[in-house]
Each structure stands twice: as C-alpha cells, then as structure tokens.
Amino acid sequence: MGQDDVSFRLNLRVKKPCVLKGYCGSISVSHVPCQGEVFLDRVLENGYEFRVDHFSKGSGERCTPGAGEVFIPQPDQTLLYKATYFPHAQGILRRTGD
C-alpha cells in the first residue's frame, strides 16, 4: 500500500543466480505503471535492496531509475516490501509460482 493509502499490485521476478550489482530480473507496479529491470544493489542485514532501471516503453513518467526497492524475507515465506523513497510504500509479497 502506498503512502497515499492506494493499494497496488507489485510483481517481482528474480532469476538465479542473482549476484551483487548484477541483473536479477524484472519488476512491475500496476498503478504507476512501471515495468523495469532489477539489479541487486545491496545485501542488507535482514534483506536485499534492488535498483530499478531500463523501464519498458509503456512505463509512466513517474518511473525513475535508482535504488530503494527493499525486500525482507519473512518466516512465512513471504517478502516484506518497502520503498525507501518518496512516496513511501510497503506491503507483503506472496510467491505465485516458479
């Protein structure tokens, strides 16, 4: 959910192997819309921070490249998502397939 109380769908696809500073997959956010590639920017004490870049042609004007997409593994096999930039957003991601 975004800071403005708007719910949205976020899809994250991470390929193996995913190495530090390397290309790791794709991300899309429904309400902006944004679709881009993710790169592992930092390994945190409790999770991972990704940088987004190379947005698809259909992405909106508000899509800007950079780090700040944080994913923290949870005990129930979900991921806690936090956007560390403005507007802040957070939510829980659930695995939908391999």
| pLDDT given at position 24 | 98
| pLDDT given at position 1 | 45
pLDDT tens digits along 29-84:
887 889 999 999 999 999 999 999 999 998 988 889 999 999 999 999 999 999 99
Tell me the pTM. 0.87
Paired tokens of 98:
């391999």
Amino acid (1-letter code) at residue 59: S
Sign (positive or negative) of CA dihedral 32, 71, 38, 86? positive
Residue 4 has pLDDT above 80, yes or no: no
Q: Spell out the long-range contacts of 71-76 with Cβ–Cβ below 8 A and sequence spacing 24 or more.
A: 71/12, 71/47, 72/44, 72/46, 72/47, 72/48, 73/46, 73/47
28 and 55 Cβ atoms separated by less than 8 Å:
no
Paired tokens of 40:
């592992």
